[in-house]
Amino acid sequence: MADMTVEAGAAAPTTMPRRLSEGWFAWALIAPAMLFIGVIVAWPLAETLRLSFTDANLGGEHWVGWANYQALWDSSPFAQTIGRTFYWMVLSVCLKLILGLIGATLLNAAVPGRGLFRVLVMPPWVIPIAIGCIGWLWLYNGHFGMLAGLAQRWGLIGGPFEFLAYKQSAFYSAIVTDVWVGTPMVSLFFLAAMQGVSRDLYEAAWVDGAGRWYRFRRITIPQIMPVIVSMALLSAIWTFNSFEVIWILTQGGPRGATTTLIVDTYKTAIGNYKFGEGAARAVVIVVLLASFSLIYLFFLNKVNRKYGVK
């Protein structure tokens, strides 16, 4: 090993072939990563982009130029779907962040049985989403489900109520389930961040007479802000693309009331075998999410600077 180092050190600065081989060596080092990104990310993306300019279906494909995008642009249901998707995302992410923050604060409190509570918060995140959603499907059933049963027993409703049968109740029921699925992870990340906050800061504030709310607002929140920022962005992307919850509960119905962009794309590309039109929708999703992420990061950088977070 020592011999090799000496030899390389002696020859490298003077000879052209050695410099070339160093260049090749560098390319060889990054080649696996490039290959990985090319196969996993770049090629599918490029293929999706190509398909979006065709009318690909079960029988083959033909180049159609911008026709798929033009059809989306002219479609008012598609515009409604975009609006619904953002509403779904904003509402669900806000609820996850708020509940996640509350949950993390409670789990961080010095209460007896704290370890048990930390374990109990895990199941919604740990069990397969499909299984959890099927459980919710039963809860929402108006005739046999627990929610309608309890509501009737407590006199809140006069008879069975099908949560998934009406446009508004189906939408908000799907939100509740999505929040149920997504909150534990947010809680645990926030909890981990809270545990990293120095005790000295709290003790100093306490000595100065700062109350609990003040300490939470002026110490905890700024200290965990980078995690809040990261979780908000990740959660937004996951929620935007959340498919299983909606598909299992409502399949996008009734009358499209729970159809988000990802459900619409699935129905078009996989359900109706219109691969070209589906690809155009997928490209729109990528563009929207990328734009949203950039705008979001821009504003959050401002927020971070305000809180002094690097």
Partner 1 sequence: MKYLKTATLAAALLGGSALGAQAQELHFIMCGGEVRPADQTVIDQFQKDNPGVTVNMEAVPWGTCQDKSLTLAAAGDPPSIAYMGSRTLKQLANNDLIVPVEISAEQQALYQPGVLQTVSSGGQLWGYPHAFSTKALYMNCDLIEKAGMECKGPETWADLIKMAQTVKDQLGIAGIGLAGKDFDNTMHQFLNFLYSDGGQVINADTGEVLLDSPQTREVLELYKALTPLAEEGPTAWERDQLKDLFNDGKIAMYVNGPWGRGQHNADIHQLVAPIPHGPSGPSGTILITDSIVVFKQHDHPEVQAMAQKLAQALTTGAAQYDLDQSWGLTPIYQYEKMGIDKPFYQDDPFWQVFVDGIHTGGPEPLVVDFKSLQSVFTNMVQGVMLNDDTIDNLATKAGEELAAIK
Site size toward partner 1 (CB under 8 A) is 26
Give CA 84 to chain center in angstroms.
Answer: 16
Residue-wise DSSP of 169-201 = HHHHHHHHHHHHHHHHHHHHHHHHHHHTS-HHH
CB of 51 to partner 1, least distance (A): 13
Question: Which lies closer to partner 1 via its Cβ, residue 221 or residue 270?
Answer: 270
Residue 304 interacting with partner 1 (CB under 8 A):
no
Q: Can you tell me which of 1, 16, 29, 58 binds partner 1, judged by CB under 8 A?
A: 58
Amino acid identity at 204 = A
223-252 residues in contact with partner 1 (CB under 8 A) are 250-252
For residue 126, give the nearest of 75, 36, 188, 74 by alpha carbon.
188
272 binds partner 1 (CB under 8 A): yes
Q: How far is the CB of 171 from partner 1 (least distance, A)?
A: 13
Candidates 49, 57, 118, 149: give the one binding partner 1 (CB under 8 A). 57
Binding region for partner 1 (CB under 8 A) out of 109-117, 228-236, 271-279, 286-294: 271-279
43 binds partner 1 (CB under 8 A): no
- The residue from 67, 91, 165, 289 that contacts partner 1 (CB under 8 A) is 165
Provide the minimum distance between the beta carbon of 76 and partner 1 in the complex, in angstroms, as a whole number.
13
Exposed/middle/buried for 60, CB within 10 Å: 0-12, 13-18, 19+? exposed
Closer to partner 1 by CB, 58 or 119: give it.
58
* Preceding amide of 254 cis, omega within 30: yes
Say which amino acid occupies 17: P
Stretch that binds partner 1, among 14-22, 36-44, 138-146, 200-208 (CB under 8 A): 138-146
- Interaction between residue 136 and partner 1 (CB under 8 A): no
What is the C-alpha separation between 177 and 249, in angstroms, rounded?
9
Q: Is the Cβ of residue 162 or residue 244 nearer to partner 1 in the bound state?
A: 162
Those residues with Cβ within 8 angstroms of residue 101's Cβ, 6 or more apart along the chain or in another chain = 186, 190, 228
41 binds partner 1 per the rule CB under 8 A: no
Amino acid at site 278: G
* Contact in structure between 255 and 143 (CB atoms under 8 Å): no
Separation CA 84–CA 168 (nearest Å):
12
Using the contact rule CB under 8 A, the part of the chain among 90-98, 99-107, 137-145, 180-188 near partner 1 is: 137-145
Pick 143 or 305: Cβ nearer partner 1? 143
Supply the minimum distance, in Å, between the C-beta of residue 270 and partner 1.
7
Nearer to partner 1, 78 or 166 (CB): 166
For residue 269, give every residue at least 6 positions away whose Cβ sits within 8 Å of its Cβ, in sequence order, or none.
Answer: 275, 277, 278, 279, 281, 282
Are 186 and 97 within 8 A, CB to CB?
yes
Q: Binding residues for partner 1, per CB under 8 A?
A: 57-59, 141-143, 159-162, 164-167, 250-256, 267, 270-273
